Amino acid sequence: MLGSALRSAGHPVVAVSAISRESRDRAEAMLPGVPVLDVPEVVRRAELVLLAVPDDVLGGLVQGLADVGAWQGGQIVVHTSGRYGVDVLAPARAAGVIPLALHPAMTFTGTSLDLSRLEGCSFAVTGPAPVLPIGQALVVEVGGEPVVVDEEARGLYHAALAHGANHLVVLVAQAAQALAAAGVVDPGRMLAPLLEAALDGALRAEQPSSPDASEQTDRGAGAIGALTGPVRRGDSGTVREHLEALTAFAGASGAADVVEGYRALARSAAGRALAAGLVSSAAATGVLDALAPGTAPGTGAAGHDGPGREGPGTDDAAGRLHQKEEQRDDADAPYDPDGQEDDA
């Protein structure tokens, strides 16, 4: 897909590697007329080598090509892994290549539809300072927006993207399954406007107030400022009833992860809402009490820690919440050239 985008930007694509029938079909559709060759031959012909393979394969691919003497001094070698910076390209760097890591913060389908997703897409750009402009220019050429990410921050960067995008999908799946069990025929249609509005509000709240993000000294509440619902209102009774309903649903469907997910995210919401000054300590503590495993239905008393308890006891959590309020008041495998491009 990036090869096709670079070709559209005027870069000649001299060869592509594809092994399976599916990848060959994709190469023919995205790069018609480009010869399909084995990886060492692709590397031999190219001035810019684009490595779009799974994270766990990348290190072995780079080392394997170094072992057969495929890398050439002066080549630009770009990988699209979100997990790695340029350290993973060390075997190629020893041969004198120019190393770059360009990771699009986007999920892709493997079809031509992906080309439109590149427009305005942020790319994490990592590389030695002297060659960063090359990576930034390549991103701009395919319609993206380059964002420099330091080598040591790549792991956190990629974890953040995966946590946001992948777990959002899980959350939608859980909510849709519960709605279907409640008799909603088309859960996706019901969820779409609600989730789109919630996501839009949260993302808008994360945007800097100044055009120059470097001038920002206080993010304010950020996305949590867009929180609505029973946690924001301090409705511990509603939270307790939610857990009862979801527990019954889990018992009937086997979807125990829905209860665990609701409890974990609601506890996080309570803590973040308190820290942002959106709820009082008493309201947050009431919500945490309702969320505690072992709480008797219809009561506000939290049970003791027991098997399956997540995190510290509720009393400890409540103490920390009160303390925060007081403080606020006080002031390697062989390479697989057939791999898919990584996504977030």
Is 340 a member of any domain? no
Which CATH number belongs to the domain containing residue 93 in this structure? 3.40.50.720
Is 302 a member of any domain? yes
What domain count does the chain have? 2
Say if residues 337 and 51 touch (Cβ distance below 8 Å).
Answer: no
Residue 118: how many CA atoms within 13 Å on its side-chain side? 23
Residues 61 and 28 in one domain: yes
Please give the share of the chain, as a percent, with pLDDT higher than 70: 81
Q: Looking at 149, 168, 189, which one is the last position of a domain? A: 149
Rg of the Cα atoms in the chain = 25
- Is the model's pLDDT at 226 over the cut of 90? yes
Residue 202: how many CA atoms within 13 Å on its side-chain side? 12
Q: How far is Cα 80 from Cα 55, in angstroms, rounded to an integer?
A: 9
User: Exposed/middle/buried for 40, CB within 10 Å: 0-12, 13-18, 19+?
Assistant: middle
Q: Which residue has the higher pLDDT, 123 or 212?
A: 123
- Is the model's pLDDT at 208 over the cut of 90? no
Question: What's the chain's average pLDDT?
Answer: 85
Q: Model confidence at 306, in pLDDT bands (50, 70, 90)?
A: very low
Q: Which domain holds residue 177?
A: 157-205+224-329
Q: Which residue has the higher pLDDT, 338 or 155?
A: 155
Q: How far is Cα 93 from Cα 74, in angstroms, rounded to an integer?
A: 10
Place of tokens 């309570």: 270
Residues 279 and 167 in one domain: yes
pLDDT tens across 246-295, in order? 999 999 999 999 999 999 999 999 999 999 999 999 999 999 999 998 75
Is 245 a member of any domain? yes
**What six digits make up the tokens of 111?**
């079809």
Q: How far is Cα 24 from Cα 166, in angstroms, rounded to an integer?
A: 28
Residues 143 and 183 in one domain: no
Residues 114 and 94 in one domain: yes
For the whole model, what pTM was predicted?
A: 0.79
Is 127 a member of any domain? yes
Residues 136 and 164 in one domain: no
Residues 34 and 116 in one domain: yes
Residues 130 and 165 in one domain: no
Residues 291 and 173 in one domain: yes
Provide the 10 A C-beta neighbour count for residue 39. Answer: 23
Range in 115-129, 181-195, 217-231, 308-322 the model is least confident about: 308-322
Residues 144 and 254 in one domain: no
Residues 166 and 108 in one domain: no
Residues 288 and 325 in one domain: yes
Q: How far is Cα 306 from Cα 325, in angstroms, rounded to an integer?
A: 28
What's the pLDDT score for residue 212? 59
Is 293 a member of any domain? yes
**Residues paired with 126 in a beta bridge:** 101
Residues 174 and 309 in one domain: yes
Evaluate the CA torsion angle 27, 28, 29, 31 in order and state its sign.
positive
Q: How far is Cα 70 from Cα 62, in angstroms, rounded to an integer?
A: 10
pLDDT tens across 85-137, in order? 999 999 999 999 999 999 999 987 767 777 888 899 999 999 999 999 999 99
Q: Looking at 114, 149, 184, which one is the last position of a domain? A: 149
Q: Model confidence at 196, in pLDDT bands (50, 70, 90)?
A: very high
